[in-house]
Amino acid sequence: MSTNEVPESERVIFHVDMDSFYASCELRDKPEFRNRPFIVGADPKNGRGRGVVISCNYAARKLGIHSALPISKAWELCPDAVYVRPNFRLYEEVSKRIMLILKKFTPKVEVVSIDEAYLDMTHSIREPASESTNETSFRIWNSEAIANRATRIKEEILISEKITCSIGVSNSKIVAKIATDTNKPDGLIIVMPEKVKDFLSPLQVGKIPGVGRVTQQILQTEFGITTIGDLSKSDTQKLLERFGRFAFWLKRVAEGRDDSQVEEGWQPRSISAETTFEEDESDFSKVVAAMRGVALDVYERLNEEGYEFSNIAVKIRFEGFETHSRQKALASPSRSLEILIKDSEKLLSEFKNSGKKVRLVGVRVSGLRKVSSEQASLLEWSGSL
């Protein structure tokens, strides 16, 4: 077997996840708040604020605060926390530098979000299996070498950006990610190939990415499944009747099987923005005006990053947190502000006569594709903007 032909079961996959990334970025320059509950999100306004928590440190999490929690509830739980508004430009800059650090260790880096990446280290951590002269014989899974490499990654990120990260290592992406999530913050856990099933078996099924509270409840109440081990032994046919093809994926994960590759490079799946009104808004013309401002924010980020879009979606949240969304696929990719605003207004108009007050409005574009500088110049010259 050549050095490039490694069995799937022998791959070495790192999952690297920044700890409380947005909050950690802010705390780099605010070390005096590091041990206090620290929350990134909307202005709490002494408990009357609107919007949600975007990120918080672990001191805040111990008090029951988490992302997406209404900011008023966060204030109720901890009025003495430090509250700051988000600085997304800062987070993007820090993320870019971190991803460059990761690429020093292997060219095979898949960036899956602003603070998370997979690294295929299979051909970056190799030792001769023996002292023979057979150059194609390698021992891939050397736990000491893997731990040393992971520790170096953690140290470089900490020294460079003053941010801790957690790393999970296994022979597949899904198990590496699950490993990371079981040992945060500042964790490192290595799951050897022969130990994958033993590692997964006692974990709650909710530890599987993509298995939310609803799915977890169905598995428990209808099938008596509470752990991943239970899931691995369950009747596939019965799961198929309830979940369809999703059942096959669930079973594969429960058995520790995942052959998905680390895909080099990354483009964001979508770019979005939203705004929450100070008071629930009954004047729909003001809702539309706010939506235009949000669309402009999205457009500026698109332009800055050099993307065009193929899909537009709007989100509207009424009083009482009743939330709806509508979307549209374009006939061809665009980077036109006019199209973005016009189609967003058309999607939003469906809710004009709802008779309900509006709490929040948002715009999202997806189906993103990089535009070359030549294409961008031509599109702007032709008046598409």
Amino acid at 18: M
Give the position of tokens 């706010």: 290
Give the position of tokens 């509250």: 83
Span between the terminal Cα atoms of the chain, in Å: 55
**What SS3 class is residue 98?**
helix
**Burial label, 111 (beta-carbon count in 10 A; 0-12, 13-18, 19+):** buried
Which residues are bridge partners to 313 per DSSP? 327, 364
Give the position of tokens 């009357």: 48
Tokens of 318: 């009424």
**What SS3 class is residue 1?**
coil
Q: Which of 5, 110, 116, 274 does the annotation list as catalytic?
A: 116
Q: Which long-range contacts (CB under 8 A, 24 or more apart) does 226-235 make?
A: 227/201, 227/202, 227/203, 228/200, 228/201, 228/202, 228/203, 228/204, 228/253, 228/254, 229/200, 229/201, 229/202, 229/254, 230/205, 231/205, 232/197, 232/200, 232/201
Count other C-beta atoms under 10 Å from residue 265's C-beta.
7
Query: Is 279 one of the catalytic residues?
Result: no
DSSP string, 171-233: SSHHHHHHHHHTS-SS-EEE--GGGHHHHHTTSBGGGSTT--HHHHHHHHHHH---BHHHHHT
> Distance between CA atoms of 77 and 79, rounded to whole angstroms?
7
Nearest to 368 by CA among 302, 317, 316, 323: 302
Going by the DSSP 8-state scheme, the letter that residue 52 receives in this structure is B
Give the position of tokens 């590496």: 176
Q: Where are the beta strands (DSSP E) in the chain?
A: 13-18, 38-41, 53-56, 82-84, 109-113, 116-120, 127-128, 138-139, 165-170, 188-190, 270-281, 307-318, 323-334, 358-366, 369-370
The catalytic site residues sit at 116
